[in-house]
Chain A
C-alpha cells in the first residue's frame, strides 16, 4: 500500500509522534493529541500548540490478538488510551509489559519505540509507546 510506504507521510509527522505535540484549547481548556487548529470538544479555533508530558495513567486498554498486517509480528500486544498528567488522552501501545500485568490506572511513562516498518528495506517509523514507570527518580 502506498500510504504504508510513504516516506514524506512519515517524515511530516515525525515531530508530533516523537515528542507528542498536542493542543490546548484556550476557551474550554481541553488538552488533546495530536495538535490541530480547532478544539475537538468546543470547536474553538483559539488553540495553542504544546508538547505533552510523557507521564500518565492507563485509562482503558485492550489486548490485540488479531493484528493489522503491519503489526502481526508483535501479536499479542497491548494498546491503550493513556491519560497524561495534564489530562490529554493519547492512543498508544504499551510496551515492556505482559498483558496480564496491565490494569486501569497503571502509572506509565513514554519511551521511543518502533511502531511500523515500511518493509524490510524501507524506513522505520518510531513513536512514543508507554511502559510501567522505571525507578523512582526522573521528574521531567
Chain B
C-alpha cells in the first residue's frame, strides 16, 4: 500500500467567533486546506467531519451533508465522526483509513466546534456527555471534576507537586504568543495560574483549556492522486491509530495512566516504525495541566510518575528532549473540543513543513499528535513524517 500524503492544511483562528456559525467555520477551514494544497474542491471524494456537540449546542446534526452542501460539492461521501474531544482525531483516523485502503484518493478530515453559542452551564452539561450520562453526569460530576480526581490520584501516587504540574500551562501560553491562530496569545506566570479561581479542586481555571470556536482541516491524498494532480506533498501521515478504554474512571484500577494512550501509541509507533525517541516534536492533549504530564509518560517520553520533571527541567522546549505543544497546546492555542484533534495534526504539520515561525523546532522529521476523548475513553494518535 502506498503512502498517505498530507497535501494541505487549513484552520481558522480559535476564539469567540460571534459572527461565524458552525457551518461558516468548517467551510472556512476546508477551503483553507484546499487552497493550501492547491487542489480544486471537485477532486475531493470523501469528507469526515469531527465534531462533538453540534446536536446539543446548535441543534444541528448531519454535518457531513451540511458541509458538502455549503462547500458546494454535494455528492461526495461525507459524515460526522464523534468521539467526544477525540472527534477530530477520529476523523483523521477515518480519513487515513479511507486513503490507505484505496477506497478514496482525496479526503478532507475536518474538525469543528462552535462553543460560544451556549451559556457556560449549558456547555458544562454538554462536556460531561463525554462521560457516562446515566451514572457520572447523573451524580453531578462536571468534566473538570473528573480530571480533578485524576489530579488528586496522580499527586497522591507520585508525590508530584501542583506547582510543578501547573508549569504546563505556563509553557503553553509562552508558545501561543507566536501562534497567529491561538486563542490566548499572551504569557502567564505560574503565580497567575495558581491564584486563578478553583473550578474543581485542585484544578484552577488557568490549568484548564478554555472554550472557544474553531475549525481545522487536512487534505489527505494517495500517492497516485498526488501524482495525477501534480502535487508534491512534503509530509506523509505515517500512522494513525485509535484505541478505547472503559468509559469512566470508577471502572479503572489506576487513574494515573490512560490505557487508551498506551494502546493507541503502541499501534501508531508500530505502523510508522518509529520509537518515542525518534519523535522530534509532539502535540499532546493537555485539556488540563495534569493530563499533559500524564501523556508525556504514557506516550513513552518520560518514566511513569516523572512527566512533570520534563516540564520543570525545560525538556519540552525547543532544544529539549521532546519539544511539546510548540503552538500553545490546548491550554493556549485553544480547545474547540471536536476540532482539537485536527488542530493538533495541523500544528504538528507546521513543524515538519518549517512553517512554525518563532516556535519552529529545527530539523523536525517526525511529529506526533495525541488526541483524547473524555477522560481517556478514546485516544487517537497520529504520526507525521517528512517525505524522504
Asked whether A and B interact, the reply is yes
Contact bitstring B136-179, A, C-beta under 8 A = 1, else 0: 11111110110011001100100000000000000000000000
Determine whether the beta carbon of A62 is less than 8 Å from that of B124: no
CB distance from A9 to the nearest CB of B (A): 8
Determine whether the beta carbon of B145 is less than 8 Å from that of A62: yes
Cα distance A3–B134 in the bound complex, in angstroms: 10
Cα distance A92–B132 in the bound complex, in angstroms: 13
- Residues of chain B within 8 A (CB-CB) of A71 are 140
Total A-B Cβ pairs within 8 A? 104
Cα distance A41–B137 in the bound complex, in angstroms: 22
Interface size class of A (residues with CB under 8 A): 35 or more
Determine whether the beta carbon of B135 is less than 8 Å from that of A68: no
Determine whether the beta carbon of A34 is less than 8 Å from that of B135: yes
Contact bitstring B247-275, A, C-beta under 8 A = 1, else 0: 01111110100000000000000000000
- Across the interface, B125 reaches (CB within 8 A) one of A34, A69, A104, namely A69
CB distance from A11 to the nearest CB of B (A): 13
Cα distance A93–B136 in the bound complex, in angstroms: 10
Determine whether the beta carbon of A79 is less than 8 Å from that of B250: no
Q: Does B356 contact A (CB under 8 A)?
A: no
Given A32-B251, A41-B253, A70-B125, A65-B139 contact (CB < 8 Å) = no
Determine whether the beta carbon of B250 is less than 8 Å from that of A62: no
B residues 233-254 in Cβ contact with A at 8 Å = 246, 248-253
Q: In the complex, what residue of chain A is closest to B252 when comparing beta carbons?
A: A40
Determine whether the beta carbon of B135 is less than 8 Å from that of A91: yes
CB distance from A112 to the nearest CB of B (A): 14
Q: Does A26 contact B (CB under 8 A)?
A: no
Binding site for A on B (CB under 8 A): 56, 119-122, 124-125, 128, 133-142, 144-145, 148-149, 152-153, 156, 197-203, 246, 248-253, 255
Binding site for B on A (CB under 8 A): 1, 3, 9, 13, 17, 32-34, 40-41, 60-72, 74, 77, 79, 81, 89-93, 99, 104, 115-116, 125, 127
